[in-house]
Amino acid sequence: MKHPRLAPQSPLLALSLALVSLGLTGLAPQQEATNASGAAAVAVEPAAETVRWQAIADAWQPGVPAETFRVTDVIDGDTIRIDYRGKSESLRLLSVDAEEKLSPRARTDGSKPETLFGEATRVWARGFFAEHAKVGDELRVGLIFPGKSESRDVYGRLLCHVVLPDGRDFNLLLVREGWSPYFTKYGYSSLCHDAFAAAQLLARSEQRGMWNPKVNEPEKVGAPKVARPYDRLLPWWEASAQALANYEARRKESPDTVLFAESADELAAALARGKPVEVFGSVFRLFEESDGSQTVLLRSPEPERALRLVIPRAQRAALAGLALETRTEEFVQNHLVARGTLTQGPRGFEMRIESADRLAPAGPEVDEIEQPLPQPAEQPEPAKGSAPLPREPAPAGA
């Protein structure tokens, strides 16, 4: 049985390996203090806060997986392919978002530019799996699906945690070693939020990987530096995570009347009941209608069953402060909460916003975020997952 091809195949990969060897990626800084002359001094004891963070990060232990699947390719730091239930499947690792690897298109702007560090992450990930996922003649990993059921993204990739044969959570390891930030744009981890938050604080304090100020420095002096804009991304992700946390809190309080726009079945049930509801969702597109009204289309995995918020012409001036035209952009709060009664319109679910108090941001604005890094609980929870992982049920038709 052949392993995925892991050897460097281009000068770009060779450059990435050079970055790793120089200690610019995924490596902790020197742990010893230095005196005024630069000579090594007595090692510094970790601060109490660091000890606490480490205990919290270590509290999440999935355990050795009871079932593993063959790895067929490591595409980049957070995307791998496996043989799963008789099919080749792509995995999208939850709560992480590694930098983009280099390609001929050379995208250098926006929230996901292609970077040297992204290429180095891919090289490292391939080598890491070759060493740490080997079981016999194959590379194998276990999977964890939060909620105990499979879920997929809009590209059909399985959303999951990858568990190494020795029981370590690879998603968490990416954050702890600085290969990825704790990615909260789509909400805090429902499985191990505190561990992710603590791991990220540790990685930053140690300047590991992406937190090392020398990362993504160009090879040639004077060449432009291409780096991911974390100073803008982290507050944006935190604002989004807080909006989704608000939804979850409201949902617990009123499970029958608080809905998520991406759940078309819930919308259909609420439509049948005919009662006022509160709907959380993110803005996908805006449309100007011929009667002067405005339609706000909320994001949905089922476009034909998406919810449209209809803002009558008479209410548009009162809602101008929401700057709805910006809510589809990056680096702004994209989530709204709408209150009203659902109806069946010609294009699907609709809700008319009859007054300005019926529509508001679902969380803080990005410029209101003072602490962009999520914080863990004050005390670590007891270690979890010491028992083997349960076997996941096979999907229908498999």
How much is the pLDDT for 391? Answer: 34
Range of the domain at 62: 11-228
- Report the distance separating Cα 74 and Cα 232, nearest Å: 29
Q: How many CB atoms lie within 10 A of CB 305?
A: 15
The number of domains in the chain is: 2
158 & 36 share domain:
yes
Q: Kindly report the backbone phi and psi dihedral angles of residue 273, in degrees, each rounded to the nearest multiple of 5, phi listed first.
A: -75, -30
Joined together, the tokens standing for residue 42 give 């007595």
24 & 150 share domain:
yes
310: nearest Cα among 323, 297, 327: 297
- Which runs of consecutive H residues, i.e. helices, occur in the chain? 11-21, 48-58, 116-132, 170-176, 193-205, 230-253, 264-273
How much is the pLDDT for 17? Answer: 45
216 & 338 share domain:
no
pLDDT tens string 57-105:
999 999 999 999 999 999 999 999 999 999 999 999 999 999 999 998 8
248 & 112 share domain:
no
Tell me if 210 sits within 8 A of 181, measured CB to CB. yes
pLDDT tens string 137-188:
999 999 999 988 899 988 899 999 999 999 999 999 999 999 999 999 999 9
Sequence-distant (≥ 6) Cβ neighbours of residue 46 within 8 angstroms: 54
How, if at all, do strands 348-352 and 134-135 pair?
unpaired
276 & 305 share domain:
yes
CATH number reported for the structural domain that contains residue 49 in this entry: 2.40.50.90
Residue 45 lies in a domain: yes
pLDDT at 115 over 60: yes
Picking from 228, 259, 285, the residue at the C-terminal end of a domain is 228
Q: What's the whole-model pTM score?
A: 0.84
Distance of CA 287 to the CA centre of its chain: 29
DSSP state of 380: P
211 & 250 share domain:
no
pLDDT at 384 over 50: no
pLDDT (average), residues 1-26: 43
DSSP state of 48: H
- 48 vs 161, more confident: 161
Residue 376 lies in a domain: no
- Report the distance separating Cα 49 and Cα 378, nearest Å: 10
What is the chain's alpha carbon radius of gyration, rounded to the nearest angstrom? 23
How much is the pLDDT for 380? Answer: 55
Sequence-distant (≥ 6) Cβ neighbours of residue 73 within 8 angstroms: 4, 80, 81
Q: CA of 296: how far to CAs of 247, 261, 276, 312, in Å?
A: 19, 12, 19, 11
Name the band, by pLDDT with cuts 50, 70 and 90, for residue 43.
low
One-letter amino acid for residue 133 of the chain:
A
Q: CA of 164: how far to CAs of 70, 299, 357, in Å?
A: 12, 34, 49
Residue 387 lies in a domain: no
Residue 33 lies in a domain: yes
